[in-house]
Structure 1
């Protein structure tokens, strides 16, 4: 079988969308402050906001210097939960200001082994992180869970498949997942497809031509990302072929 023809990398999510998702996340987290977050077991709305504030603070420090900061050295949320909203807002403002100032290609440490070590990597990562957790917060608050912005969702699908899936497969302790997966985002102009070879350790590429996989999954880019991150069931999408393989793939994310 010939290798699929790759397409250019997904566009970078804009800062306005990132800030909008972060703001909606804050509002929804406050509305669900002591409610459990169904898609993030063990967290309530406050815990979700605290996690996102910690990520923003960590990213802000890294973006400020370009240097590595270990996860273990991340600044933890303040002891007083009543200060978390202001702390989160300050961390968000710092990140947005820094990303709007530094050159996107400035050398910057990133934690993904296959990620390009540039400032723009963090704009993509934070755009996806905040959009997905905004959805989580709205779910916890019993609010309407707005779909993810298509540009953010496409970036998130690509990031998950190319940068994170190989590591998830390598850490998987059950029977090895084998076969191929074909994803199709049907709300993107001209469509966008990805082909994943699980037998090659999760080798994934966006493709320009249609390819048959052992399982094909079609839906909006938002639903595809929410499914890949174990937030939407396979039944919510159009799945053809090995449904068990599709379910096993998303079960890698806990």
Structure 2
């Protein structure tokens, strides 16, 4: 797969199925730790219906309400179903692009609100759990990310050895701009038509896992 080196579509589907199973286990045991879900089948004919069942169960679980407690083993996220709904929506959306590109299809264009939320999650949540130790990161400067159609700006300050911090507008050393769909995809390291001006290497720190 061009955007997931060494992965096949089958492996990607098994990954999503396993993640959904794990999330269901976290929902079922909201106060537990180190919860694991069921193993996804390896054979394609068994995997697809198994994943479909996990997907239906997950959708039903989310109907309980965003504030329902759930085990969420990530810092910066609230321990509830709302956090999992957001995380799984973007997990599925980005991997959908991977499969579309692997099939030679035109990637989905996400609506402005959804794409803006995905960009925000990448910058305000995912970035902070990228690594537990930022001491070796030497980047310094200010990054401005602009989702033009959403009229939304994110300004991040990069300080050597520290986590990036979100703050108010500042004179940027590099600007990443485009419509929300493109900015969302670029932050998740998928092909996107964006404009970059300034010290492009500073954007390496913002790339998601």
- Above 0.5 in TM-score? yes
Aligned partner of 2:113 in structure 1 is 151
1:115 maps to which of 77, 92, 96: 77
| 1:216 matched to 2:175 | yes
Alignment partners' CA distance in 2, 1:201 and 1:175: 9
Higher relative contact order (CA 8 A, sep 6+): 1
Superposition pairs of residues 1-254 of structure 1, within 5 angstroms? 37-68=1-32, 70=34, 73-100=36-63, 102-168=64-130, 170-171=132-133, 175-188=137-150, 191-199=151-159, 200-205=162-167, 211-232=170-191, 236-246=193-203, 248-249=204-205, 252-253=207-208
Unaligned stretches of 5+ in structure 1?
A: 1-36
- Cα distance in 1 for residues equivalent to 2:171 and 2:20: 40
For the structure 1 residues 97 and 81, does the alpha-carbon distance in structure 2 shift closer, same or farther, using more than 3 Å as the test? same
Structure 1 residue runs of 4+, over 4 Å off? Answer: 169-175
Deviations 1:96-141 (A, max 9, x none): 01101x1211222212211111110001001111111111110111
Cα distance in 2 for partners of 1:46, 1:141 equals: 13
Distance 2:131 2:183 in 1: 18
- Paired position in structure 2 for 1:12: none
More helix by share: 1
- In structure 2, the gaps of 5 or more residues are none
* 1:65, distance to aligned residue in structure 2 (A): 3.6
Secondary structure, counterpart of 2:125 in structure 1: helix
How far is the alpha carbon of 1:224 from its aligned partner?
1.3
